[in-house]
Amino acid sequence: MQRRIFQRGKLRTACVLNLFLGGLTLMATSATFAQDGAAPPPDAAAEAAPMPEAVMMDGATCNTCGTDPCCDWCNLGDKWLLSDQLLSNSCGCEESSFTIGGWTQFGYHTESNGLFNSHDSRINMHQSWLYAERVADGSCGLDWGFRADFMYGVDAQDTQAFGEPAPQDHWDNSWDHGIYGWAMPQFYGELASGDWSVKFGHFYTLVGYEVVPATGNFFYSHAYTMNNSEPFTHTGAIGTYQVSDNIEAYGGWVAGWDTGFDRFTDGDNSRGSAFLGGAALTLTCDATLTYITTIGDLGTRGEGYSHSLVLDVDLGCDYNYVLQSDLVETNGAGTNHQYGVNQYLFYSVNDCLKVGSRMEWWKNGSNSQYAATFGVNYLPSANLVIRPEIRHDWNPSGIRFNGDGKGDFTTLGIDAILSF
């Protein structure tokens, strides 16, 4: 799926005011939904990989802004890539290039909000990541590709294939060292020909807007929907077909949620057998909508249905708005009904500075959780992004779904990601 790139823009006083007014509006909208006790309208959202990754990983230099003083100070320079040092990339249609790269992420936050960012009041190495891949390019006939990802850090235990019973016996779940550990979140092969491609192995989910890699998200912290109502990875096979310029369809079989390759060797102890699929629609030049679902035996979550809808809209004036809605309905104990709505508003000052807000409403059974996050992405160079943020979580019932039991708290956080 295409990743939306922040557009270069000029800082206008009116736009800045609109950003804060827009954030207040989003918060009020989420609160209204919850107070009414009804789900928001289903015109939400599509799984589209988050646009900030393009900002962090494309490595483009700051475009010339003429005499605009807002952009004169931004000069990212060229991005340093590990592949450029290790591999000789070939140009041409007949062969896809190999890529080797990664990143290191360090962060600090004052409160724990659950799964990711579990260890507060200390500096953590969240992700030290290395990947190798060859992209399958089917534009000139049958082609093959692969990808393997390895990571070490405090995020490992939330990134491993923990969807199997007795996790210590399965895939990468035994690779722990205290709060740190290793994980292998992707290991797959791919075939492509024309408008078709098929991925088989262990790979990231298509569900949701936020993703596991730190480089793929605008915010340091994660949404409740991503933490609690979405899978992180799958093992199986998923096909992609480019139906037209405006429609891309997905469909395949996976071994439930967050499972490894044990599904093929454990017999009756294996977990999950489900359909993963959906479609991405280009509604206009400025809007995309994607629907992704999982149906069947989801593993430890039980049997049922889930979906994620993400609407991604370029509002002009260098703003980008994203509306996401998730639903999970299963027969699993304690997690059989979950619903969430997330709203994001981003503004691009220039290639070096982005600001954003995220408003959340997540409902688990009859209890609702809310969160509002405001943050900045500052790129002092093409290889480095610094992400300070302030986040407030609250629950009218005083129930805390994650962390240390507080129902109303504010978190200050900051991290830095060095990519290579």
Task: Let me know if residue 8 belongs to a domain.
Answer: no
In a domain, 381, yes or no: yes
Cα–Cα separations (whole angstroms), residue 105 to 169, 172, 213: 28, 21, 10
Task: Let me know if residue 2 belongs to a domain.
Answer: no
C-alpha 218 chain-centroid distance: 9
Asked whether residue 7 is assigned to any structural domain, the reply reads no
Owning domain of residue 224: 13-419
Flag whether 1 is in a domain: no
In a domain, 327, yes or no: yes
pLDDT (tens digit, 9 = 90+) per residue, 239-289? 999 999 999 999 999 999 998 887 666 555 556 799 999 999 999 999 999
Overall number of domains in the chain: 1
Q: What is the four-CA torsion angle of 123, 127, 130, 135, rounded to 10 degrees?
A: -140
Mind listing the pLDDT tens digit for each residue in 47-101? 334 443 333 333 444 344 444 555 568 888 889 888 887 775 444 444 447 899 9
Separation of alpha carbons 83 and 15, rounded Å: 39
Token pair for 161? 């294939």
Q: Please provide residue 226's backbone torsions phi and psi, each rounded to the nearest 5 degrees.
A: -65, -45
Q: Is 227 helix (H, G, I), strand (E, B) or coil?
A: helix
Is residue 184 domain-resident?
yes
Flag whether 5 is in a domain.
no
Mean pLDDT for the chain overall: 81
Question: What's the pTM value of the predicted model, to 2 decimals?
Answer: 0.80
Least confident window among 85-89, 164-168, 409-413: 164-168
163: confidence class by pLDDT, cuts 50, 70, 90: confident
- DSSP lists the bridge partners of residue 103 as 129, 419
From the list 131, 202, 137, 197, the residue with the least C-alpha distance to 163 is: 202
Residue 365 is predicted with a pLDDT of 86
Q: What is the spatial distance between Cα 183 and Cα 323, in angstroms, rounded to a whole number?
A: 30
Cα–Cα dist 156/160, whole Å: 6
CATH number of residue 94's parent domain: 2.40.160.10
Confidence band (pLDDT; 50, 70, 90) for 146? very high
Pairing of strands 408-419, 384-394: antiparallel
